[in-house]
Amino acid sequence: MPSFVSISSDKLIRLVGTPGAPRIVDVRDQGAFDSDPVLVPGAIRREWSKVGSWSAELGPSAVVVCQKGKKLSEGAAAWLRTEGIDAEVLDGGIEAWRSAGFPVVPAKALPNEAHGGSVWVTRSRPKIDRIACPWLIRRFVDPTARFLFVAAGEVTAVAERFGGQPFDIEGVHWSHRGELCTFDVMIEEFGLDLQPLRRLATIVRGADTARLDLAPEVAGLLAVLLGLSRMHSDDLRQLEAGMIVYDAFYRWCRDATDETHNWPSKGARS
């Protein structure tokens, strides 16, 4: 029987990818993790026995994940609640999550946390793909990820020196592949097989490669992000503004594709 401080996989998947999502913490024993080295999207790995040392990393709410949603997650969540964190247990643990068919992120695809979180390096003046990728990483992979925007010719050197991952430039792992843009590649490699993300990926690809025919929404995304690039000369301000745009597009892809809005109403008279 689920605890009153537990959350089902069905409810958690609705929170994953949204700006107000709780921090997800995987506290499985190392042996259990090694036998199934995957994570719920957006989760971080922490040792349950050291909960007192990492609780300060979390925000106001958290979901704790172990193998079956029993002693390790129950104990860690209870500890977090003593420190004022609204902590819940994933009911049934990662086994229930996988049984429900929800995506998991392979640990081998995750970058090292060189500075307490992953570091990503790309060209300055981001517009489409270089905002979509940070959005995907922060919402589904690493909420604490740091993004460095530098001169194009210095991306790989900066990434090497600062322990980062170069992306969206030629000749690196995280980049365009054939007709796919970097956003597509990240969705595939991070195992994020969600229908709303697939729909969004088509829109991003169309905007990033000037294929306005791929989806009716392509022109709108392109116009908004190009407009933001004219409003913001600071790359980080552009990123933060773009995050809101992608939050909205993702929610449209997930919840509102069938909704229309007409004015005046049918009953209005001239």
Domain around 72? 6-107
* pLDDT of 166 over the 60 cut: yes
In order, the DSSP letters of 134-184 are: HHHHHHHT-TT-EEEEE-GGGHHHHHHHTT-EEBSSTTSSBS-BTTB-HHH
**Nearest by Cα to 51 from 40, 41, 62:** 62
- Are residue 228 and residue 151 in the same domain, yes or no? yes
CATH of the domain at 28: 3.40.250.10
Q: Is 69 helix (H, G, I), strand (E, B) or coil?
A: coil
C-alpha–C-alpha distance, residues 77 and 4, integer Å: 12
Residue 264 lies in a domain: no
- Are residue 201 and residue 236 in the same domain, yes or no? yes
Q: Which helix (H) or strand (E) holds 120?
A: strand 119-123
Residue 146 lies in a domain: yes
* pLDDT of 85 over the 80 cut: yes
Residue 112's pLDDT is 72
User: What is the pTM assigned to this prediction?
Assistant: 0.93
Q: Are 125 and 231 in contact (CB under 8 A)?
A: no
Residue 261's pLDDT is 84
**Nearest by Cα to 163 from 145, 176, 175:** 145
As a whole-number percent, the residues of the chain with pLDDT over 70 amount to 95
Percent of residues in the chain assigned helix, strand, coil, to nearest 5: 45, 15, 40
Q: How many helices (H) and strands (E) does the chain have?
A: 11, 10
What's the rounded mean pLDDT across residues 1-12? 82
Residue 9's pLDDT is 98
Residue 130's pLDDT is 98
Residue 81 lies in a domain: yes
Of 88, 107, 126, the position where a domain reaches its end is 107
- Are residue 221 and residue 136 in the same domain, yes or no? yes
- Are residue 160 and residue 200 in the same domain, yes or no? yes
What's the rounded mean pLDDT across residues 231-255? 97
Residue 261 lies in a domain: no
Number of domain units in the chain? 2
Of 83, 107, 131, the position where a domain reaches its end is 107
- Are residue 49 and residue 86 in the same domain, yes or no? yes
* pLDDT of 26 over the 70 cut: yes
* pLDDT of 1 over the 50 cut: no
* pLDDT of 3 over the 60 cut: no
- Are residue 123 and residue 248 in the same domain, yes or no? yes
Tens digits of residue pLDDT in 89-132: 999 999 999 999 999 999 999 887 656 689 999 999 999 999 99
Residue 50's pLDDT is 96
Residue 99 lies in a domain: yes
Of 107, 134, 160, the position where a domain reaches its end is 107
- Are residue 20 and residue 48 in the same domain, yes or no? yes
